[in-house]
Amino acid sequence: MGRTRALLTEKEREWLASDATEAGSRKYQVISEVRNRINDELSEDIETLAEHHPELLSELRDVACSDD
């Protein structure tokens, strides 16, 4: 089974890592799309995990908040 994305697609990672002049306006579109995912879908996912599976929420926090 193939891997699914967490927050960014491989192409979005490339656009975000590229020079702004090289990526053009697409980089800014990706930033907006990711910001919307964080504020909308991710917030909703966190609420669902908190209510129904706090252990998974703890794992998410460990990964997202690590100092690495």
- pLDDT of 7-63, one tens digit each? 999 999 988 998 867 657 888 899 999 999 999 999 999 999 999 999 999 999 999
Of 45, 48, 1, 52, residue with least CA distance to 64: 45
pTM value > 0.75: no
- The helix (H) or strand (E) run that includes residue 11 is helix 10-17
**Contact assessment for residue 38 and residue 6, using Cβ atoms and an 8 Å cutoff:** no
* Domain boundary assignment for the chain: 10-64
**Contact assessment for residue 46 and residue 60, using Cβ atoms and an 8 Å cutoff:** yes
- The helix (H) or strand (E) run that includes residue 21 is helix 20-23
Distance in angstroms (rounded) separating the CA atoms of residues 17 and 13: 6
